[in-house]
Amino acid sequence: MVICHSGHRSQRAARILTERGAEAVDVKGGMNAWSAVGLPVVDGRGSSGSIA
């Protein structure tokens, strides 16, 4: 899975990885979309995070 803030960079990265033979799936819409549908967001310490 490849994800970024808005989904633009991860889309490009997933395409490049796939072209190079890796299995890659882009999380469409990035962390903004992830958070908008109520999926969990945590910080590096495992605490509740936020999308800035």
Q: What is the model's pTM?
A: 0.77
CA diameter of the chain = 36
Mean pLDDT, residues 15-27 taken together: 97
Alpha carbons 47 and 26: distance in angstroms, whole number: 25
Q: What is the pLDDT of residue 2?
A: 97
With b for 16 or more beta-carbon neighbours within 10 A and e for fewer, the 4-41 pattern comes to beebeebbeebeeeeeeeeebebbebbbeebeeeeeee
* pLDDT tens track for 38-48: 999 999 999 99
